[in-house]
Amino acid sequence: MSARLIDGRAAAEALRARLAIIADFFRASTGRPAGLATVLVGEDPASAVYVRSKIKATEEAGMHGLHHPLPAKTSEAELLALVDTLNRDDAVDGILVQLPLPKQIDSARVIDAVSPDKDVDGFHVVNAGRLAVGAEALVPCTPLGCLHLLTTELGDLSGANAVVIGRSNIVGKPMASLLLGESCTVTIAHSRTRDLPEVCRRADILVAAVGRAEMVRGDWIKPGATVIDVGINRVPGAAAGKTRLVGDVAFDEAREVAGAITPVPGGVGPMTIAMLLRNTQVAAHRRAGLKPPEDL
């Protein structure tokens, strides 16, 4: 019996519809829309596509998008000056500086320059620290989307054995903190984990965020486990010169063992932008002295 597919597109659409209602309430309460500023340095094709999709989603959700395209030769000082201006702009509730940045700019310095209260990517060290100690924080969008899918699929996660493969600051570490917050027993696995397949087989919840195409095989998975595949990897397609997207999990194998699984594409990916919009509304409400809705 094949695993249930966890439909990230449907979950994202439902959340975005809810956010559009919340956006109307915020505008009526404050006299202005929530504002998201996006900054793109250079013309990296993939980054440009991501930013365009974020701008479109922002407008569709009833929020105001303020886009700042900058030339690839922009200096670090110039970018930091723009971030400072956005920090002080009352019309801006969230700031997103699209990564990667050109080599002349230190990404860490730019991330640290964003106000933690407007850090809708959830990358600032202050938000990372708040999350780690269980305080109110803006959380990175991808792990927050994973948690939304898990709680929607499973309900109460308390007591579950969870394994997160990957220890990045963007996904692995915040994902572990979120699962701890749900009272899971959490293991962070990585490239130096001894007997990784056996560690994975103990997981009721397995989150793969390692960035290696189809690394997690079907026999690594506990029967009935819930598998969240964060990976997006391009591999050669069936036709010459073509590529296809696959996750970090060997999907066809895993689907025969797992209880539920996210596909790639159509699983975690759509949730990332939805959670960016969610974070922007949360930031806007807090800045306006309003309590964010409970269902966000």
Q: Are strands 243-246 and 233-236 parallel, antiparallel or unpaired?
A: antiparallel
Catalytic site residue from 7, 93, 98, 173: 98
Q: For residue 211, is pLDDT > 80?
A: yes
- Provide the 8-state DSSP code for 159: T
Question: Where in the chain are the domains?
Answer: 22-123+271-287, 141-269
Give CA–CA dist 192/132, Å, rounded.
23
Q: List the structure tokens of 226.
A: 């819930």
Question: Does 215 score more than 80 pLDDT?
Answer: yes
CATH of domain 22-123+271-287: 3.40.50.10860
Concerning whether 121 is annotated as a catalytic residue, the answer is yes
89 is catalytic: no
Q: Provide mean pLDDT across the span 208-228.
A: 97
Q: Which CATH class is domain 141-269?
A: alpha beta
How many angstroms separate the CA atoms of 209 and 156, rounded?
22
- pTM reported for the whole predicted model: 0.95
**Residue of 7, 54, 204, 248 marked active site:** 54
Catalytic residue among 7, 93, 119, 121: 121
List the alpha helices (DSSP H) in 203-268.
251-255
Using a pLDDT cut of 70, give the percent of the chain over it.
Answer: 100
8-state DSSP, 124: S
* Pairing state between β 185-189 and 161-165: parallel
Active site residue 98: yes
Residues 68-97: tens digit of each pLDDT: 999 999 999 999 999 999 999 999 999 999
Report the pLDDT value the prediction gives residue 175, as an integer from 0 to 100.
Answer: 98
Average pLDDT over residues 282-288: 98
Residue at token pair 């990916």? 269
Average pLDDT value for residue range 221-244: 90
Which of 213, 205, 219, 209 minimizes the C-alpha distance to 234? 213
pLDDT confidence band for 43 (50 / 70 / 90): confident
